Structure 1
């Protein structure tokens, strides 16, 4: 059973979904983007450009992984994926001044020891801190250390996060 709920009452769009409903939210968002929703070629205020994407860092309020995931969806984004050495270097530079841990969109919540990206990207690049991942069944979500390396952490921990979305969206 899955659900997707869109709320427009008294404020910005809020999307609530079951894990299974995430596929349908992604499908809907990709359709919206293909239909030409465009705020321009660059990123809006408080979002940082890199390549074809815009990135938003929330380091002010701590959230669980699920809360961070939903917050990104509410911004027509996903928790960030890191797909190359170059993108990893960008993330390291992006967070260099924050000195905090931040959620990224990599988890093995439903797949055991198989790590998947929230945005559906192929998991072929990694930047795990030495000895990681090491959490077994208790640490199923991934965050960036201030050094830019990754660590697995309990999904119920509360830290900041990074969202990623295509430019102009």
Structure 2
């Protein structure tokens, strides 16, 4: 949801900047470097709501936000219907269906504002598994081997609090530093240069 919220905030900011730059809008305190408006009245002689903005701007922004929220919910529904995204807990998982090596998959997720899908519990593992089954492809997880051979961590450096290894895995002993999810949801350590399905989390 944070991913979508950032787009909503960007759109609202763009609307305000466009209005200020192109329209003959009155100066609005608190915006574009003008002193903060918090707790003050709106412009002299203008009706206003509790935000301090003139009534007509407050209403416009409210309507824009309602419209954006409606469009985002429709977009989420379409993407969920086509299997492109899935919500699990506080996370949104998404896949572009592409198979690349670990570094390319991680870069792709980070450039979109997320990271590689990283299961923290069985529910999240099953949600990631749904993409693996849909595409019938193994997928890299956001887990890598640490400095000690055989000891794996989340890519942010934190220790694992949930695992779903195959029996006798991991067994690469320093030679297989990345982690695959198989089509049954279990994990195995693998080399990072193999091509695997990209699944991101936001």
Both proteins in one fold, TM over 0.5: yes
Question: Could you tell me which residue of structure 1 aligns to residue 106 of structure 2?
Answer: 69
Structure having the larger proportion of residues in helix:
2
Partner of 1:97: 134
Matched, 1:84 2:121: yes
2:91 maps to which of 53, 63, 66: 53
Q: How do 1:25-64 and structure 2 match up within 5 A?
A: 37=6, 39=8, 44=76, 45=79, 46-59=84-97, 61-64=98-101
| Aligned-partner Cα distance in 2 for 1:121–1:38 | 29
Using the alignment, how far apart are the partners of 1:155 and 1:72 within structure 2? 16
**Aligned partners of 1:81 and 1:121 also within 8 Å:** no
Q: TM-score, normalised by structure 2?
A: 0.57
3-state SS in 2 of match to 1:97: helix
Q: CA RMSD in A?
A: 2.5
How many residue pairs get aligned? The number is 131
Compare the two structures and name the one with the higher strand fraction: 1
1:154 corresponds, among 175, 183, 191, to 191
Please state if 1:112 is matched with 2:81: no
Q: What secondary structure, in the 3-state scheme, does the structure 1 residue paired with 2:134 have?
A: coil
Query: Contact 2:96/2:199 (CA < 8 Å) preserved in 1?
Result: yes
Secondary structure class of the residue paired with 2:6? coil
Query: TM-score normalized by structure 1?
Result: 0.67
Contact 1:139–1:153 under 8 Å retained in 2? yes
Q: What displacement does 1:139 show?
A: 0.5
Q: Deviation of residue 75 (structure 1)?
A: 0.8
Q: Any stretches of 5+ residues in structure 1 without a counterpart? A: 1-32
CA–CA distance in structure 1, aligned partners of residues 147 and 115 of structure 2: 18
Shift of residue 110, structure 1, vs aligned partner: 4.5
